[in-house]
Amino acid sequence: MSLLQSLQCCSISTQAFTKATQPIKGPEQQRRRHHHRHHRTQIRPIGSVPTAYQPLDQIPLRDTFAWNSLLRAHLVDGNCWQTILVYRHMLLCGVRPDRHTLPAVLRASGLSDASSNGKQVHAHALKLGFASDSYVVTALMEFYGQFEGADIAGVVFNCSNQKNSVSWTLLAKLYLMEDKPSFALQLFHRMVNSNMELDVVALATAARACGQLRSVHEGKKLLKIAGRTGLESDVLVGNSLLKMYLDCERIEEARALFDQMPSKDAVAWTTIISGYVNNGVFNEGLKLFRAMCIEGVAPVSFTVSAILPACARVAAYKHGKEIHGCIIRRQIHMNPTVSNALMDMYVKSGSIEAASKIFNRILEKDVISWTVMILGYSLHGRGDRGISLFHQMEESSTVLPDRTTFAAALHACSTACMVEEGRHFFEFIQEPELEHFALMVSLLSRAGLFDEVRAFVEDHRIGHHAMVQRAMLGGCRVHRNMKTGKRIAEQLIELEPLNAENYVLMLNMYAASRKWDVVEGLRETIRDMGLKPKKACSWIEVRRKVHVFGVGDVSHPRSQRIYWELECLMKRMKAEGHVLEKDFGLHDVDEERECIPCGHSEMLAVAFGLISTQGSTTLRVAKNLSVCRSCHASLKMISRIVGKEIVLKDPQIFHHFKDGLCSCRDMW
């Protein structure tokens, strides 16, 4: 009989159950008792042959203990259907289940989505008189919690006369899984009031409830209870309360608790590190990661996955490589999460090649692996490769794209100007979100299809979203469509009158048309309103140190040498017949109107990179604003003159300047 056929008829028959539950009498009873005392056989399934019956032939005496061992072995291996089949076979062989049997079969029923089997096991439990056994009760609660919800599990709990802290806590967990933290917390306090002895798991579950509730007030009550019961020094309790503070966005209180913890394990370190990283306090996260290693606590896969996003920035490239080295040195398991975090770190810190190497080595790529790489290629100017990868995912794997994967694919279509492909993807998104709409707008406007953009925006009634307007503006910039651009900038100011960047966008439009009186008026408006537009700045990492440059910055110790280098490069470009294109898109509201690319922050960072590195080292520079046209043109030339690749990250994409060309194909 094939496995599939076995499964189709694997419901537990009444006949089998009746046979198994017949009273055992005479010599058979004695034989079983004897065996139970002297021949406890631990059995594991043999090899990978998927038949439940094979090992049974090896059981010399078929007693319940041996069957239970086999059931557990299948369960541990994740073969839930085998577990259920073995249970059925066990009944057919006339072996009576005991209170150890039923929880295993219930768990298997839950894991295999076999709701009817679980209910039959419930009936067996009632008939055999195990329904009030505390282990059976918790297994039943877990089973009903999964299929019918926490309320039904609560009925089993209320009917049982064997309540213990495990069943109280399990019910609380089931409510947490249904996003009902207040019910979970109420249960905890009812448990405390019923004089049930408190333990660490109950406290940890209650702490999770407080975190989900975002109630630091309730969390502090737990802290008192923990102190009163002497459980506060327990590492599990400490870690749970630490996470509670972070969930309540109280990072300072979390840090104070962390500092006071008598013993800090890898989980505690990982929790506090992820707290800082998720709040954008990357340097503190990195400091703590190093402190952890110095204190002799070995980082685990969770820790490296938590710290890598802190290195997913240009100028943190060396931190990222350091963590990668640490993973290899310490032989930390490269599970998909670690690989995905590493890939993302390399993508975001400017090395798509390194990300690609890791991607190719992942044997079981999940949806995040594919998405990171699709978006990665797009961000690095290879949208076409991103789209190929999407098709490869569909053809070579069972992974299904989710909304983020579709967003990455649309992004790739946008950078590669693949309009038809983009439309096709958009149709496949079941419930498109604002981000998807904005990406479609970006795709159409970058392709210069402004009439279509207008129709799309009207049809979907999305014109009142700033994200959509900004997407349109991207296309206007690429196609130098100043007329539409000004209209959109006006609309953006109406939508967000307090956002200084909108005025700068408008100002840039008028500067490009040389309408200096309007530019001056807008500057005054910005000043009068007390708005503070972002100051342009660029940064570069050289020998583990980050160097930051502003517009016309002369504060760097090697400033003179930097400007000298730039001047030489400009002379060389001029000698080769390169005429600088003037771009009046001002980066800084206080900047001189006739800005020269020599003083722009990215040029200073690149020049510093050139005088500080040797050979063909790739320079990686990041900028907080879009690069202007003249700097873009100059950087293309410079890459050819110096024979180095220059990778510049701006808020939208990475520009790879190499041999006189840029990966963005001058569309940004």
The residues that touch DNA, with contacts defined as CB under 7 A, are 64-65, 68-69, 98-101, 103, 134-135, 137-138, 142, 164-170, 173, 199-202, 204-205, 208, 235-236, 239-240, 243, 265-268, 270-271, 274, 277-278, 300-303, 305-306, 308-309, 312, 335-338, 340-341, 344, 366-368, 371-372, 375, 402, 404-405
**Least distance to DNA, CB of residue 569, Å:** 35
CA dihedral 500, 503, 505, 509 (to 10 degrees): -160
**Least distance to DNA, CB of residue 236, Å:** 3
Cα gap 325→572, rounded to integer Å: 41
**Least distance to DNA, CB of residue 202, Å:** 4
**Least distance to DNA, CB of residue 329, Å:** 18
Cα dist from 3 to 27, 136, 512, whole Å: 36, 28, 72
Encoding tokens for residue 520?
Answer: 């001056």
Q: Shortest CA distance to 634 belongs to which of 588, 584, 566, 586? A: 566
- For 618: left if phi > 0, alpha if psi spans -120 to 50, otherwise beta; the answer is beta
Cα gap 189→221, rounded to integer Å: 10
CB nearer to DNA: give 84 or 540.
Answer: 84
**Least distance to DNA, CB of residue 309, Å:** 4
CB nearer to DNA: give 313 or 656.
Answer: 313
Cα gap 340→390, rounded to integer Å: 16
Bridge partners, 548 (sequence order): 539
CB nearer to DNA: give 183 or 608.
Answer: 183
Cα gap 23→96, rounded to integer Å: 9
**Least distance to DNA, CB of residue 169, Å:** 4
**Least distance to DNA, CB of residue 26, Å:** 22
CB nearer to DNA: give 393 or 418.
Answer: 393
CB nearer to DNA: give 315 or 536.
Answer: 315
Going by the DSSP 8-state scheme, the letter that residue 149 receives in this structure is: -
**Least distance to DNA, CB of residue 473, Å:** 24
Relative orientation angle of helices 601-612 and 559-575, to the nearest 10 degrees:
100
CB nearer to DNA: give 68 or 120.
Answer: 68
Question: Going by C-beta distance under 8 Å and a sequence separation of 6 or more, which residues neighbour residue 358?
Answer: 339, 342, 343, 346
Find the radius of gyration of the CA atoms of the chain: 32
CB nearer to DNA: give 332 or 646.
Answer: 332
CB nearer to DNA: give 63 or 541.
Answer: 63
Contact status, residue 140 vs residue 122, Cβ threshold 8 Å: yes
Question: Going by C-beta distance under 8 Å and a sequence separation of 6 or more, which residues neighbour residue 129?
Answer: none
CB nearer to DNA: give 307 or 604.
Answer: 307
Cα gap 474→65, rounded to integer Å: 70
**Least distance to DNA, CB of residue 515, Å:** 40
Q: Kindly report the number of other CB atoms within 10 A of residue 114's CB atom.
A: 24
CB nearer to DNA: give 83 or 167.
Answer: 167
CB nearer to DNA: give 143 or 456.
Answer: 143
Helices (H), 49-114: 64-76, 80-92, 101-111
Residue located via tokens 């060396």: 318
**Least distance to DNA, CB of residue 387, Å:** 15
**Least distance to DNA, CB of residue 608, Å:** 29
Burial code (b: 16+ CB inside 10 Å, e: under 16) for 582-620 equals ebbbbbbbebeeebebbbbbbbbbbbbbbebeeeeebbb
**Least distance to DNA, CB of residue 651, Å:** 15
**Least distance to DNA, CB of residue 167, Å:** 6
CB nearer to DNA: give 243 or 623.
Answer: 243
CB nearer to DNA: give 277 or 389.
Answer: 277
Q: What is the distance, to the nearest Å, from the Cα of residue 408 to the centroid of all Cα atoms in its chain?
A: 14
**Least distance to DNA, CB of residue 272, Å:** 9
Question: Going by C-beta distance under 8 Å and a sequence separation of 6 or more, which residues neighbour residue 502?
Answer: 489, 492, 493, 496
Show the 3-state SS of 201-268: HHHHHHHHHHHHHCCHHHHHHHHHHHHHCCCCCCHHHHHHHHHHHHHCCCHHHHHHHHHHCCCCCHHH
- For 315: left if phi > 0, alpha if psi spans -120 to 50, otherwise beta; the answer is left
Cβ-count burial of 1 within 10 angstroms (0-12 exposed, 13-18 middle, 19+ buried)?
exposed
CB nearer to DNA: give 112 or 169.
Answer: 169
Helices (H), 577-628: 601-612
